[in-house]
Structure 1
Amino acid sequence: MLADLGVVDAFGHVSARSPANPRHFLMARSIAPAQVTANDIMEFDENGEPVDARNRAVFLERFIHAEIYKARPDVNAVVHTHSPGVVPFSVSRTPLKPLYHNAAFLGEGAVVWDIGKEFGATDMLVRNNAIGKSLAAALGDKSVVLMRGHGDVTVGPAVQAAVFRAYYTDVNARLQAQALGLGSEVTYLSAEEAAKADGVNMVIMDRAWALWKQKVQSTK
């Protein structure tokens, strides 16, 4: 679905908290998102280790998911992307802020997590629990965190919400870049407007999910 929407390509991943064991989560083996099938889904423990690997390759950055689920009991789904619309905001001093209602979950603006501030020069990947914990701390109680020179992570109470936020984070980033390019002051949603609009989005996002699902199914 996210591949169809252009938010992920060969890279990126989605996970969901396990309904059978809330300390565990479900995520595909290491494979491009558009190629994932039900048979690719694996279970991981609270530290991001596979419960039954069966020689299947796993995502190096599974620790993003593990540490966020530990830190946020309200989160039941996590999406990580390298969204091309978002990355510029992770490396500039221009904050990513909601300029329209569908991205109201951005609140007063997305925080940027810089791996280098705590871990020095790295390959930019969240390759262990310590780095994942740092990212989860930067996310705090928000819905989105940008990763400097890398991408972003969105979370939600369900997969539908996390996917909705991943898509509209990218859309808002592209619209904001266009608005800034006009050369005049940009008006963003106020904190009160964002809170009210986000409440509406949580109610109506099933409409978007149904459309995106139909599009994916029609291509199979």
Structure 2
Amino acid sequence: MAGLSRLAWFGFVVAFAVTLLAAEVRCQDRQASALDPAVIEDIVVGSRVLAELGVLDAFGHVSARDPRNPDHFLMSRSLAPALVTADDIMEIDLDGNAVDAKGRSVFLERFIHSEIYRARPDVMAVVHTHSPGVIPFTITQVGLRPVFHNAAFLAAGAPVWDIRKDFGETNMLVSNAVIGKGLALALADKSVVLMRGHGDATVGSSVKVAVFRAYYTDVNARLQSQAIALGGEVNYLTAAEGAKADAINLQVLDRVWNLWKMRVTAAPPK
């Protein structure tokens, strides 16, 4: 009887352990599935769109604040934007730590995102680019100003942040929270901050808005350069025109987003 009792007890312990393990796996699955699939899709689409439009190449990234937890954000593993898939999206806290990296590498400049989210509770998405059109406006005394309605958000200002001013001669990367905080302070309440000799960061109330602003910041910079090259005085949008045009742009944002999405998700021809 004693032998049978020990055997029964062993069986109970094994069954209990298996039950606990199954519960833990289900909990992990629920946590993973709890990540908003719509937000994840927007990050994937936004990354591919900006790569398709030439604003991003192998570098740059798109993120979104986690709608479940404002102290976390969602971002791809370190990967070229055109290659991002839903499986590459991970959850990161505001200290820049991945919640469950699963062996995947994180972006070195994730602190651009974490510190902007920390400083700006209103921001729900961040895009960082090395926009070719924007770079000249980060290294000259010519300010980036709106020349057409799609870039109307620039009428509120586009400050230039110089990493060297506060941190000396660095490798130009926002590689820790202290530097990221400096960038976030320069952004202040604006939609765009330019980064001297580096690129820019745009923010928005959604991934769609941040991606829209990243693209049209680049387009505006190219158009402004062309206008300046023609000579004479440039007739920029005023602050009032910018505010009015930006409000309309946000109302019809899905028109351009759906077009972009179709371009990067359409099945390849057979």
The structure-2 alpha-carbon separation of the partners of 1:113 and 1:219, relative to structure 1 and needing over 3 Å to count, comes to: farther
CA displacement at 1:109 relative to structure 2: 3.2
Of 9, 14, 22, 2:62 maps to: 14
Larger Rg: 2
Residue equivalent to 1:117: 165
Of 87, 95, 119, 1:39 maps to: 87
> Within the alignment, does 1:63 sit opposite 2:147 as a pair?
no
State the secondary structure of the residue aligned to 1:55: coil
- 1:133-181 deviations in Å (ceiling 9; x for gaps): 0000000000000000000000000000000000000000000000000
CA distance in 2, matches of 1:191, 1:67: 28
Deviates more, 1:102-111 or 1:3-12: 102-111
TM-score, length-normalised on structure 1?
0.98
Of 222, 237, 254, 1:206 maps to: 254
AA matched with 2:139: V
CA distance in 2, matches of 1:49, 1:113: 25
Q: CA RMSD in A?
A: 0.8
Give runs of ≥4 in structure 1 deviating > 4 Å.
none
**In the alignment, is the contact (CA less than 8 A) between 2:156 and 2:190 conserved in 1?**
no
AA matched with 1:115: I
Of 83, 92, 98, 2:140 maps to: 92
**In the alignment, is the contact (CA less than 8 A) between 2:157 and 2:190 conserved in 1?**
no
The structure carrying a bigger helix percent of its residues is 2
Task: Structure 2: give runs of 5+ residues left out of the alignment.
Answer: 1-48
CA distance in 2, matches of 1:22, 1:192: 32
CA distance in 2, matches of 1:219, 1:162: 26
The structure-2 alpha-carbon separation of the partners of 1:183 and 1:219, relative to structure 1 and needing over 3 Å to count, comes to: farther
TM-score, length-normalised on structure 2?
0.80
> Within the alignment, does 1:72 sit opposite 2:72 as a pair?
no
Residue equivalent to 1:134: 182
AA matched with 1:56: R
Which structure has the higher relative contact order (CA within 8 Å, separation 6+)?
1
> Between the two proteins, what is the percent identity of the paired residues?
68
Residue equivalent to 2:72: 24
**In the alignment, is the contact (CA less than 8 A) between 1:98 and 1:108 conserved in 2?**
no
Residue equivalent to 1:176: 224
AA matched with 1:126: V
**In the alignment, is the contact (CA less than 8 A) between 1:104 and 1:194 conserved in 2?**
yes
The structure-2 alpha-carbon separation of the partners of 1:181 and 1:57, relative to structure 1 and needing over 3 Å to count, comes to: same
CA distance in 2, matches of 1:125, 1:55: 23
CA distance in 2, matches of 1:111, 1:209: 26
